[in-house]
Amino acid sequence: MTRVALVTGGTRGIGAAIAVALKAAGHTVAATFAGNVEKAEAFRAETGIAVFQWDVADEAACAAGVARVAAEVGPVDVLVNNAGITRDGWFHKMDYQQWSAVLRTNLDSMFTMTRPVIEGMRERGFGRIVNISSINGQKGQLGQANYSAAKAGVIGFTKALALENARKGVTVNCICPGYIDTDMVAAVPEKVLEGIIGQIPVGRLGKAEEIGALTAYLASDAAAFMTGAVLTINGGQYIANG
């Protein structure tokens, strides 16, 4: 059955791989982006996936954006909360802007994006929400007190929302990727990257397509009995308690 899927931060990196995987699974996909129009248009031209620009930290923009997607593509059945930013720095030197920007984009967006779609999902008796957290939301990371706090919050949000909506046919799950071979990771200095890979038991970075495949499963009818799950996909770098 064809359903409408909306992926935030869906034109680059992990988000782009998720959007492509959902399209391959038969969904009608829309992807949001924040600022890089050139990349977004290239992605649209290459994949045929509709793209929409707004800031996921802006509540009014999200409400208007979701309404536009519903009007132009259809009501959202699958929501992937993937958009995120980093503003790294040691906490004792971090200013409030660095803290606030990351919390607003990475955690407040759980509200601003999910709130406009959740009532429709409940009314229709079907919904799939997949939230992208991080290995660093599970174990913490030096220089990422803001990012780790936000991504840990995503895990708590996932569990609470799953409980609230299970009886309405809406599942809510969370994926915690480790280090994935994207432009962001590629920008890390070579020596640092070698050190990161050395900590990964499988001996390589993850692939964005691997995150996309897992997301497509969670969005499928086959995953109807899975909700409130926190799934690690990090090559064994961090093995969370069951």
Distance separating alpha carbons of residues 234 and 134, to the nearest angstrom: 9
- Predicted pLDDT at 1: 65
Looking at the annotation, which residues are catalytic?
147
Long-range contacts of the stretch 42-45 (C-beta < 8 A, 24+): 43/11, 43/12, 43/16, 44/11
Share of residues in the chain with pLDDT > 70 (%): 99
Q: Are strands 28-33 and 50-53 parallel, antiparallel or unpaired?
A: parallel
Higher pLDDT pick, 195 / 24: 24
CA atoms within 13 A on the CB side of 208: 19
- Predicted pLDDT at 117: 98
Tokens representing 79 are 């929501």
Whether residue 42 has pLDDT greater than 70: yes
This prediction's pTM: 0.95
Is residue 230 classed as helix, strand or coil in its secondary structure?
strand
Is residue 35 classed as helix, strand or coil in its secondary structure?
coil
Domains of the chain, first to last: 4-231 (3.40.50.720)
Whole-angstrom CA distances from 178 to 163, 174, 189, 227 are 26, 13, 18, 21
- Predicted pLDDT at 187: 75
DSSP E strands, 111-184: 127-132, 170-177
What confidence tens digit (pLDDT) does each residue in 175-213 have?
999 999 988 777 778 888 899 899 999 999 999 999 999
Whole-angstrom CA distances from 104 to 63, 87, 98, 152, 218 are 16, 12, 10, 14, 25
Whether residue 236 has pLDDT greater than 80: yes
- Average pLDDT estimate for 143-149: 97
What confidence tens digit (pLDDT) does each residue in 109-142 have?
999 999 999 999 999 999 999 999 999 999 999 9
- Predicted pLDDT at 172: 98
Mean pLDDT computed over every residue of the chain: 96
